[in-house]
Amino acid sequence: MKFVDSASIRIEAGKGGAGCLGFRREKYIPDGGPDGGDGGDGGHIYFRGQEGLNTLSEFRFNRLFRAKNGQPGSGQNKRGKSAQHLTVEIPLGTKVYDLETDELIGEMITHEQVMLVAKGGFHGLGNTRFKSSINRAPRKTTPGSPGEVREIGLEMSVMADIGLLGMPNAGKSSLIRQISSARPKVADYPFTTLHPSLGVVSYYDEHIVMADIPGLIEDASEGVGLGFEFLKHLSRAKALLHIVDVMPADGSDPVKNFLIIENELAKYDQELASKPRLLAINKMDLLPEDERAKITADIVKAIKYQGEVFHISALNGLGCKDLIEGLFALIKSLNDE
């Protein structure tokens, strides 16, 4: 299914039911007086977080959500039935905006989290409500108030434990295919990943979620290339895994490629740039075994990287087991903080 990370919809809460104008008329009871009941309240509209959803594609075609109206009141002081509330399930990591005011209404963070986004109308009052000592037969009622109508913007950021960083064709999609059951598109040309995809990485009875983000290029933080649209997804990840192609097919310098990505993160969001990360040098299978240690050591020294480094081949699985163990250790340490 195509990943959709933003959508705009219209929501209409229910109108309150009108109050009833009625008088009691029974045999042997003269001048029975008013007995018009109140109407029912209109239905609210709620959003509820659902961890099983990972796309906003449903809202591309279903753009109108309308709660039911409250029923009108009736005689014998019978109140109209209030409408049921409408609950719309949305993915975790979704920000909800009022498009008319650009107000951020809220963000869906946890499973089953509930957010009120449109209030239903208040019920109308029947004429019984207006009875007094000087007005024994009021003919006044009130209609129900209208429900809130809002134009809503939804913007989803991928919820993941690990976000993958790297230049186009660094091997991010190949890695996520190698260590998870996700099957993103893999090819030998740039930008094969056009939409973020999620993969679940298992280690014994534990699991973490990894997000494969489209490759970034220089000036991505300023809107160049595909990466700008998805930089925000990385902000939801607990930690980052930077994939460096040890021998880029375009002849570019791995050190320069690493620094370009790190620079784009810093320009986009300093908090994002400071997230914990690991470094994986990929495509080690392309290097002669006796040269691997020196080449990778030179790269690490040049980029002044201080953390743990993994030497892998996403194609044949070389070093991937150690990388998985490192990822789980990092996430565990973050969860224990």
**Helices of type H across 41-135:** 58-61
**Helices of type H across 154-230:** 172-179
Q: Is 33 left (phi over 0), alpha (psi -120 to 50) or beta?
A: left
Q: What is the mean pLDDT of residues 91-95?
A: 88
Residue 170 known to bind ligand: yes
Residue 172 known to bind ligand: yes
Q: What is the mean pLDDT of residues 253-263?
A: 91
Predicted confidence band of residue 205 (pLDDT cuts 50, 70, 90): confident
Reported in sequence order, the residue ranges of the chain that DSSP labels E, i.e. its strands, are: 6-12, 45-50, 64-66, 86-91, 94-98, 103-107, 114-118, 149-156, 162-165, 197-203, 206-212, 239-245, 277-282, 309-311
Q: What is the pLDDT of residue 196?
A: 60
Q: What is the mean pLDDT of residues 10-33?
A: 88
CB 277 within 8 A of CB 309: no
Residue 214 known to bind ligand: yes
Q: What is the pLDDT of residue 185?
A: 45
Residue 283 known to bind ligand: yes
CB 179 within 8 A of CB 190: no
Strand order in the sheet with 277-282: 197-203, 206-212, 162-165, 239-245, 277-282, 309-311
Predicted confidence band of residue 220 (pLDDT cuts 50, 70, 90): very low
Question: Does position 285 have pLDDT exceeding 60, yes or no?
Answer: yes
Say if pTM beats, i.e. exceeds, 0.75: no
Residue 282 known to bind ligand: yes
| CATH number assigned to the domain covering 162-336 | 3.40.50.300
| CATH number assigned to the domain covering 6-156 | 2.70.210.12
Residue 141 known to bind ligand: no
Residue 33 known to bind ligand: no
107 half-sphere exposure, CB direction, 13 A CA radius: 9
Residue 61 known to bind ligand: no
Encoded tokens for 35: 């007995």
Residue 191 known to bind ligand: yes
Q: What is the pLDDT of residues 159-174, one digit of tens each?
A: 678 988 888 888 888 8
CB 64 within 8 A of CB 105: no
Residue 83: DSSP 8-state: P
Residue 284 known to bind ligand: yes
Residue 159 known to bind ligand: no
Side chain identity, residue 86? L
Question: Does position 156 have pLDDT exceeding 70, yes or no?
Answer: yes
Q: What's the chain's length in residues?
A: 337
- If we measure between CA atoms, which residue out of 62, 223, 91, 232 comes closest to residue 154? 91
Residue 192 known to bind ligand: yes
Residue 297 known to bind ligand: no
CB 19 within 8 A of CB 123: yes
Residue 298 known to bind ligand: no
Residue 212 known to bind ligand: yes
Encoded tokens for 178: 């190698």
Of the ranges 27-31, 58-62, 287-291, the best mean pLDDT one: 287-291
Secondary structure (3-state) at 267: helix
Residue 173 known to bind ligand: yes
Ordered by start, the domain boundaries in the chain are 6-156, 162-336
Residue 168 known to bind ligand: yes
Report the range of poorest mean pLDDT among 37-46, 182-191, 268-277: 182-191
CB atoms within 10 A of CB 115: 17
Encoded tokens for 182: 């996700």
Q: What are the two backbone dihedrals, phi and then psi, of residue 273, each rounded to the nearest 5 degrees?
A: -65, -25
Predicted confidence band of residue 216 (pLDDT cuts 50, 70, 90): low
